[in-house]
Chain A
């Protein structure tokens, strides 16, 4: 409490839990991270919402965030992919098809939790429900990408999403970083000029140096 910046102290004394305040302060940082990865590094992922929300889901899974988070993420993608292959020949309209996919994933995750419970992985069985629901709903993004860009691209995008989320998770669960945030919350404002810079960046993305390596070598 004594390290808190006056603003944070004011917020906390107003009755807002410190966790809530910290998470809200972290959102701009995660969003900036995603923007950075897209524009400068060239890692696409599923937009900005999905990697951000998955990052927070991973944090919500703590203390076993990584283990269970990754397991559930991978199961969702895997089951989503299989369901799509089964449903394809029925030629259903988009939303009903996604609804069925979500149902199948829900059942599968339930099975996974029960399975975990019986094998004495109580941490898995007792995993909080909201991050699980978040993980399930991102399967829509996956199905949409699968339809539009093909399974291979969708899998790459899913892996990229998980990758960015893991980096975000590492940053956000770093205690020194959290302490820094509550001590100097105004530093969050720097994300705005940083994003203006990223938004005006017209240089090649790092991934494009690889993509166009042939041309660069040629010159």
Chain B
């Protein structure tokens, strides 16, 4: 019982959301913008943020009678201005062939002008608005589905919900429409919610319904984890800027990705739901507490903070699965000296194109291989000659040099040369690796050490790191 209490302390409940976040942070002006889709569209567009293009608005029965239906393009979305939970939205995908008074919906059914009129009348009467008060209907452009999202969604466009507080994105979720949700990206209606690692924009765990964890898209073998969200940084930037514009301190930004336009802001939410926590298997309160007192002056800073604070778990997970460590193309590496005590830390280039590790002769001297370097330099006066010798003869030339354990042929653009190798221990990302390192003068190169394939078997290289 007390265990459960302690563990649940990071979870945001309805009481805390209303009392500590929505009430003090979302003032009336912000709520007005969020609840009025046309107003938020106008405000966001003014601020230079991408929103779906408005085609036409119908404010009353009179303008409905006078409406010029030929204005409508092949595909569009018809929405109530103050709708909630995705109710009352009608989307058509194209004009019916050979008819200019009918359109086709995603499921193939026909929508005529008469149907549109009836639907608009319902919207105007307030059938879909929160308080049943009269509403405005509007047409906007239909967004097109991103190709890479196609296999994951059922007749609709997935969108991203991003919770932003104090200019820092704190949690995100990808919502995939399903057959159950009849093509709507709404969790209450049965859509899939997929948690996202904020650092990389890669999906983690997925939930369907109330809290049923799933691994694959229903009835397929498509894994829901590991999906890379394109334009991830841009999406975070838009979410943060929409917070600046709307003045909502605790915001749920809904962003979709259009095939041509990229990320587009669909909607602002002044009372974002709590299910996002289940999709991410993590509590919001814990995260919100961590960003509460931070001073964030710029969008960039907020983005970096969010990515660093609430991401990176994927990487650890990958390390756990593969048992391999993830390192960047240039990694701080410690070299252990000949006496086993001296340790020198340098920036090493991780070179998966090279076979073996090699170190600069000057560095080798500092590691206690003075005599090795001297002997090597003396013996290797004539490179041409060395390359013509057989393996055994070559070894004879070098074996007297203290510290040398092998001669290694090194292929390069100018032909094959031979280098001598010493035995040395290197410590990469905390992992001790015994290595045979060849000696070469690297004084004119950027990094004194390159680490080659032979010593990289326990690592994965992430080029973005």
Spell out A's residues near B (CB within 8 Å).
39, 42, 91, 93-94, 147-148, 200-205, 208-209, 211-216, 218-219
Taking a contact as CB atoms closer than 8 A, the residue among A94, A200, A203, A212 that contacts B126 in the complex is A94
Which candidate, B275-283, B302-310, B369-377, is the interface stretch facing chain A? Answer: B275-283
Contact A203 B282 (CB under 8 A): no
Name 12 interchain pairs, CB-CB below 8 A, sorted by A: A42-B14, A91-B118, A94-B127, A148-B130, A202-B13, A202-B16, A202-B20, A204-B11, A209-B8, A212-B277, A215-B8, A218-B282
**A39 in contact with B125 given A215-B277, A215-B282 (CB within 8 Å):** no
Q: Can you list, as one digit per residue, whether each of B224-249 has a CB less than 8 Å from chain A (1) or not (0)? A: 00000000000000000000000000
Contact B211 A203 (CB under 8 A): no
Complex CA gap A39/B278 in Å reads 21
Q: Is B7 part of the contact surface with A, judged by Cβ < 8 Å?
A: yes
Q: Can you list, as one digit per residue, whether each of B251-286 has a CB less than 8 Å from chain A (1) or not (0)? A: 000000000000000000000001001100111000
Complex CA gap A200/B23 in Å reads 12
Q: Is B150 part of the contact surface with A, judged by Cβ < 8 Å?
A: no
Which residues of B from 14 to 64 have beta carbons under 8 Å from A? Answer: 14-16, 19-20
Contact A215 B11 (CB under 8 A): yes
Q: Is B144 part of the contact surface with A, judged by Cβ < 8 Å?
A: no
CB distance from A219 to the nearest CB of B (A): 5
List chain B residues, Cβ under 8 A from A214.
207, 211, 213, 278, 281
Q: Can you list, as one digit per residue, whether each of B278-296 has a CB less than 8 Å from chain A (1) or not (0)? A: 1001110000000000000
Contact A205 B13 (CB under 8 A): yes
**A218 in contact with B281 given A209-B4, A211-B211, A213-B211 (CB within 8 Å):** yes
Q: Nearest residue in B to A202 (C-beta to C-beta)?
A: B16
Complex CA gap A215/B132 in Å reads 37
Contact B8 A94 (CB under 8 A): no
**A208 in contact with B211 given A202-B19, A216-B7 (CB within 8 Å):** no
List chain A residues, Cβ under 8 A from B130.
148
Complex CA gap A219/B211 in Å reads 16
A-B contact number at CB 8 A: 68
List chain B residues, Cβ under 8 A from A147.
127, 132
Taking a contact as CB atoms closer than 8 A, the residue among A93, A202, A212, A218 that contacts B15 in the complex is A202
Complex CA gap A113/B297 in Å reads 70
Interface residue tally on B, bucketed by range:
20 to 34
Q: Is B210 part of the contact surface with A, judged by Cβ < 8 Å?
A: yes
- 10 extra A-B contacts, CB within 8 A, seeds A203-B13, A216-B7: A39-B15, A42-B14, A94-B132, A204-B16, A211-B274, A211-B278, A212-B283, A214-B278, A216-B8, A219-B7
Q: Is B122 part of the contact surface with A, judged by Cβ < 8 Å?
A: yes
Contact A216 B13 (CB under 8 A): no
List chain B residues, Cβ under 8 A from A208.
11, 13-14, 274
CB distance from A142 to the nearest CB of B (A): 15
List chain A residues, Cβ under 8 A from B122.
91
CB distance from B324 to the nearest CB of A (A): 25
Q: Can you list, as one digit per residue, whether each of B73-97 has a CB less than 8 Å from chain A (1) or not (0)? A: 0000000000010000000000000
Spell out B's residues near A (CB within 8 Å).
4, 7-8, 10-11, 13-16, 19-20, 84, 118, 122, 125-127, 130, 132, 207, 210-211, 213, 274, 277-278, 281-283
CB distance from B82 to the nearest CB of A (A): 13
List chain B residues, Cβ under 8 A from A39.
15
A-B pairs, top 10 by smallest CB distance, nearest first, are A202-B16, A204-B13, A219-B7, A208-B13, A94-B132, A216-B7, A218-B281, A214-B211, A202-B15, A212-B11
Taking a contact as CB atoms closer than 8 A, the residue among A148, A203, A215, A216 that contacts B16 in the complex is A203
Q: Nearest residue in B to A93 (C-beta to C-beta)?
A: B125
CB distance from A99 to the nearest CB of B (A): 14
Complex CA gap A89/B281 in Å reads 42
List chain A residues, Cβ under 8 A from B7.
216, 219
Contact A216 B11 (CB under 8 A): yes
Contact B278 A205 (CB under 8 A): no
CB distance from B103 to the nearest CB of A (A): 21
Contact A212 B8 (CB under 8 A): yes
**A215 in contact with B278 given A91-B122, A202-B13 (CB within 8 Å):** yes
Q: Nearest residue in A to B282 (C-beta to C-beta)?
A: A215
Contact A201 B15 (CB under 8 A): yes
CB distance from A197 to the nearest CB of B (A): 12
Complex CA gap A94/B130 in Å reads 12
Listed residue (B7, B14, B118, B125) with the most chain A CB atoms within 10 angstroms of its CB = B14
Q: Nearest residue in A to B283 (C-beta to C-beta)?
A: A215
Complex CA gap A1/B20 in Å reads 49
CB distance from B194 to the nearest CB of A (A): 14
List chain A residues, Cβ under 8 A from B207.
214
List chain A residues, Cβ under 8 A from B11.
204, 208, 212, 215-216
**A204 in contact with B281 given A39-B15, A91-B122, A211-B211 (CB within 8 Å):** no
CB distance from B129 to the nearest CB of A (A): 10
Complex CA gap A205/B4 in Å reads 13
Complex CA gap A218/B205 in Å reads 12
Q: Nearest residue in B to A198 (C-beta to C-beta)?
A: B15
Contact B125 A204 (CB under 8 A): no
List chain A residues, Cβ under 8 A from B132.
94, 147
Contact A211 B210 (CB under 8 A): yes
List chain A residues, Cβ under 8 A from B13.
202-205, 208
Contact A205 B8 (CB under 8 A): no
Complex CA gap A208/B211 in Å reads 12
Q: Nearest residue in B to A208 (C-beta to C-beta)?
A: B13
